[in-house]
Amino acid sequence: MPRSAPARAPITSPAAATVFTTVLTEGPVARVDVARRTGLSSAAVTKAARPFIEAGYLEELASGGRTAPGAGRPANPLAIRPDREYFVGVKITGDDLIGVVTDLRADVRASAHHALTSHDVGHVVQALADLAGELLSGDLAERAYCLGVAVSGDVDQTSGVVRYSPFLGWRDVPLAALLHEATGLTVTLENDVKALAVAEQWFGEGVGASSFALVTVGTGIGSALVVNGGLIRGAHGVAGEIGHVPVADGGPPCHCGGRGCVEAIASTEAILTLAREVSGEPALTMEDAVARARGGDEPLRGVFAGAGHAIGLGLAALVNLFGPERVVVSGEGVATYDLFEDQIRRTFAVQAFGSAARCGLVIRPLPFEEWARGAAAVAIQSLFVAESV
């Protein structure tokens, strides 16, 4: 059943977006400090904050922490009212749907999983609508109007269309419109790695860094780039895709149509394919390959090192081109990171140019629930942050 959206505090200016984001990620924070951090005058901060206060998204605390409506003293901290609105975030994987409900600060208030038995679009839409219904069965439903969805692949956020998702076998699926029809919620789609990067930018390793890259290793090799506080999408929505940087001339074919891409060498499937070839055991499982490599099987260790080398080359290309302060490496492949970390670091150190090599590599396991939280963060962002990149 369609829900009517509440009266919202409109983003009327980039200043409003900046003030809101500063309070969201760093608050409670005094208006004088918001002014200092954003370069706006105190008067401009007050003006930008007013519609958010009137709509109940921000509040002004007395210096002692009590609410002080209308007091308007520059030293009084501005704070988010996290329970003003809730957001649904869902990550779609090839096997299941992982959903959360978060508050305005992207703190998780409820979570649930649904297995996917098919990649048929109708099935996924229905399963996702059921999951959203389950998540919003209690009090949270009264103040939830927005759904953020994270999908792997080429996602057009503006039109709400999944252009190409190899793991789901989808091309040009108008997912946002279908989900809006099925749930009544306002839907924002985002590439899953970019969604995770938004959560990291606001609430994780990216806080305080003006630029950082997030790289995920696992079923695919994904990446997202935040520069000057903004996610880089590029004119075609696929900027920063190190998974499809070619690193081996004449290397294995990639599902994208290219050859020798990082993903064609270092994805879970690529590792397993080569491990089976090297061991001469076509039925070898990933678990066995990992266990034997850890046990010292040199040919299998070489397979993982080769994947690490490809990832290291991809990371160096990314860092040489964009120079982020740090690179966060995550994804389900991090569980076996011990098998490629040495090689990633060695290759990266050799290939990163000059002082770009000082870029920190941070390994951070992030469970799928964190990706769903990223999807919710994208829904929050779509409401409150004016896009500048």
The residues binding Zn ion (CB under 5 A) are: 244, 254, 256, 258, 261
| Residue 261 CB, nearest approach to Zn ion (Å) | 3
Cβ–Cβ under 8 Å, residues 80 and 104: yes
d(CA 30, CA 138): 35
- Smaller CB separation from Zn ion, 97 or 221: 221
- Smaller CB separation from Zn ion, 74 or 246: 246
Residue 156 makes CB contacts below 8 A (sequence gap 6+) with: 162, 163, 189, 237
- Smaller CB separation from Zn ion, 229 or 252: 252
- Token digits of residue 92: 């779609």
d(CA 381, CA 12): 15
| Residue 264 CB, nearest approach to Zn ion (Å) | 6
**Amino acid type, 338:** D
Instruction: Give which of 293, 296, 345 is closest to 319, Cα–Cα.
Output: 345
Residue 27 makes CB contacts below 8 A (sequence gap 6+) with: 77, 78, 79, 80
d(CA 152, CA 162): 9
- Smaller CB separation from Zn ion, 232 or 238: 238
Cβ–Cβ under 8 Å, residues 231 and 201: yes
Residue 286: phi and psi, rounded to 5, are: -65, -40
- Smaller CB separation from Zn ion, 233 or 244: 244
d(CA 256, CA 242): 13
- Smaller CB separation from Zn ion, 48 or 193: 193
- Token digits of residue 20: 């809101």
CB atoms within 10 A of CB 294: 14
| Residue 166 CB, nearest approach to Zn ion (Å) | 9
- Smaller CB separation from Zn ion, 261 or 305: 261
- Smaller CB separation from Zn ion, 27 or 314: 314
Instruction: Give which of 184, 175, 106 is closest to 145, Cα–Cα.
Output: 184
